[in-house]
Chains A and B, each alone.
Chain A
Amino acid sequence: MRRGDKLSDWDKRLVDKILDFISDAFSKDDQPRGPRIKFVGYQEFMDFLKQPGCAVCRLINASLRHYISVAFVEDITNPEFRAPLRTSLGYCRSHSRLVRVFSAGKLRRIGVAIVYEDLLSCVEQSLDQNIVRLPADCPMCGFETELESYALTLICDYANDVEFQTHYQRSAGVCLPHLQKLLGQANGAARSFLLTDHRRKLERLMTYLGESIRKNGYQFRAEPMTDEEKNSWTTALYFIVGEPEFLNAARS
């Protein structure tokens, strides 16, 4: 999806706000691309790389949480936020789950209640006309695609930078769905670096998984498991599907 496709004006402004927060450099189209100067966005991304799991998923999830905090507290009376929601009848399954988890705070909960009361009245109106309409075009999905594209571009642009490479090699890198997209986007030395580095990460994960399975055997149960071995099953699962949106809930 190209930037701005299917996003309302309100969404676009919010995307810009968050991208400014994440990356000054990449919100300006006239900025020359390339790993020349390290911007605020670059440093923010380094922080995501230091955390366990896919850095792109982490960045997206942090931004989605920010989206929900802003939207359901500050913008519930904003027609630019509400109108697309009335058209889409709320969010998709996975983003609805996210709204549900993050509506635990009292302020956000009131916002969610007001918005969903309105959405129910939309459904009620169509039912009164004997019509059933399905929810479609989740606004948060468009927002997520936008963020994903920025994060992947950031990695591609900096993948030749020595400092970035050192941090990336120490990190968990990205999940398989993002790696697949990244390899489709990166060229030359950047692509070759990502390919080699992720092969190494995968081989390491296979070793941890193998050891964790072996130590589950009765004859080896006395051997202590390292943290990497203990967590290898969730690491493998998250590598294949991506980090869950509500990581803390799922990790526990």
Chain B
Amino acid sequence: MELIKRKHHKEKFSTYFDLRDACAQNRCPVCRLLDRGTERSMENLLYENVNDGGIRARLRKSLGFCKEHALFLIKIGDTLGIAIIYQDILRSILKSYTGEPSFGLPTAQCPVCELRSKNERGLIDTLVEYLDDSEMKSALEKSEGVCLPHLYHLWQACKDSSKREWITDLHAQILRKLRARLSSYVRKQDVQFQNERVTDAEQTSCEEAISFLTGTNA
């Protein structure tokens, strides 16, 4: 009997705890964890793997990073590491500088995008798996919810209709609150209500709405 009980009890692993903890902070917990992973992998690349032959060959294929992640790289700001990586990429571009139709086109996906989509799948699967876990449910209820792109993936991955319903109901409630803050912000811009103080939550509601629809942060 004890053995059967144990079998049914899901073992919680680090992704579960990371997700649960990320729910306590602002923004979509999946985006937050993905951004953390991106930052770590880029720091790791710049501080430890700039001269790794395999990584450099991979970066030559993808012509470095996509625009979004290349700009992220600037934020980390290790000038020398970035200069070495991009000198290598420019050298390979100059070698094949013919102006042929394939010239200047990457032959591989941005490595960070690749890593993110792999991590994203793992995070969404974990969320789906633990949607019936009381601790995870309560964390999600207290959170700002996931962004629309991740809500879509989550919704698609949920095979159980009761889980689907729970997740859409929860996000409808979260959205209603966010919309109320936005409405209040707009109302207080009117001259007749200008004496009413705009709260911090109302002030940031605009950014939260953009963030919810696209999952973007900065």
Binding site for B on A (CB under 8 A): 89-94, 96-97, 99-100, 103, 106, 109-110, 112-114, 116-117, 119-121, 123-124, 127-128, 130-135, 176-177, 179-180, 183-184, 191, 195, 199, 202-203, 205-206, 209-210, 212-213, 216, 232-234, 236-237, 239-242, 244, 250
Question: Which one of A121, A132, A179, A202 lies within 8 Å of B179 (CB-CB)?
Answer: A121
25 A-B interface contacts by CB (under 8 A): A92-B214, A97-B216, A100-B207, A100-B210, A112-B206, A113-B182, A113-B186, A116-B213, A119-B213, A123-B175, A130-B165, A134-B152, A135-B148, A135-B213, A176-B93, A177-B104, A183-B99, A183-B104, A195-B99, A202-B94, A206-B90, A236-B89, A240-B63, A240-B64, A240-B90
The residue in chain A whose Cβ has the minimal distance to the Cβ of B81 is A233
* Cβ-defined contact, A100 with B216, below 8 A: yes
* Cβ-defined contact, A250 with B90, below 8 A: no
* Cβ-defined contact, B178 with A120, below 8 A: yes
A177 to B83 alpha-carbon distance, docked (Å):
20
Min CB distance A101 to B, Å, is 9
With a cutoff of 8 Å between Cβ atoms, the chain A residues found around residue B148 in the complex are 89, 123, 132, 134-135
With a cutoff of 8 Å between Cβ atoms, the chain A residues found around residue B205 in the complex are 113
* Cβ-defined contact, A233 with B214, below 8 A: no
With a cutoff of 8 Å between Cβ atoms, the chain B residues found around residue A191 in the complex are 99
The 0/1 profile, CB within 8 Å of A marked 1, for residues 5-38 of chain B is 0000000000000000000000000000000000
With a cutoff of 8 Å between Cβ atoms, the chain B residues found around residue A112 in the complex are 206, 210
* Cβ-defined contact, B172 with A206, below 8 A: no
Min CB distance B194 to A, Å, is 12
The secondary structure that dominates the A interface is helix
* Cβ-defined contact, A113 with B178, below 8 A: no
* Cβ-defined contact, B99 with A209, below 8 A: no
The residue in chain B whose Cβ has the minimal distance to the Cβ of A234 is B74
Binding site for A on B (CB under 8 A): 63-68, 70-71, 73-74, 79-80, 82-84, 86-87, 89-91, 93-94, 97, 99, 101, 103-105, 148-149, 151-152, 155-156, 164-165, 168-169, 171-172, 175-176, 178-179, 182-183, 185-186, 189, 205-207, 209-210, 212-216, 218
* Cβ-defined contact, A127 with B209, below 8 A: no
A130 to B152 alpha-carbon distance, docked (Å):
11
With a cutoff of 8 Å between Cβ atoms, the chain B residues found around residue A233 in the complex are 79, 82-83, 86
A135 to B147 alpha-carbon distance, docked (Å):
11
* Cβ-defined contact, B86 with A132, below 8 A: no
With a cutoff of 8 Å between Cβ atoms, the chain B residues found around residue A236 in the complex are 83, 86-87, 89-90
**Apart from A112-B210, A241-B71, 11 more pairs, CB < 8 Å:** A112-B206, A114-B186, A120-B179, A120-B213, A127-B168, A128-B172, A132-B168, A135-B149, A183-B99, A233-B79, A237-B73
Question: Which one of B84, B165, B179 lies within 8 Å of A117 (CB-CB)?
Answer: B179
With a cutoff of 8 Å between Cβ atoms, the chain A residues found around residue B185 in the complex are 113
Known contacts A135-B148, A202-B93, A237-B70; A124/B87 CB under 8 A = no
Chain B CB within 10 Å, residue with most, of A89, A100, A179, A234: A100
* Cβ-defined contact, A202 with B82, below 8 A: no
The residue in chain B whose Cβ has the minimal distance to the Cβ of A101 is B218
A240 to B109 alpha-carbon distance, docked (Å):
14
Question: Which one of B104, B175, B186 lies within 8 Å of A110 (CB-CB)?
Answer: B186
With a cutoff of 8 Å between Cβ atoms, the chain B residues found around residue A123 in the complex are 148, 175, 213
Min CB distance A196 to B, Å, is 10
Closest 4 CB pairs of A and B: A180-B104, A236-B86, A116-B209, A127-B172
The residue in chain A whose Cβ has the minimal distance to the Cβ of B105 is A180
The residue in chain B whose Cβ has the minimal distance to the Cβ of A236 is B86
Known contacts A202-B94, A209-B86; A91/B71 CB under 8 A = no
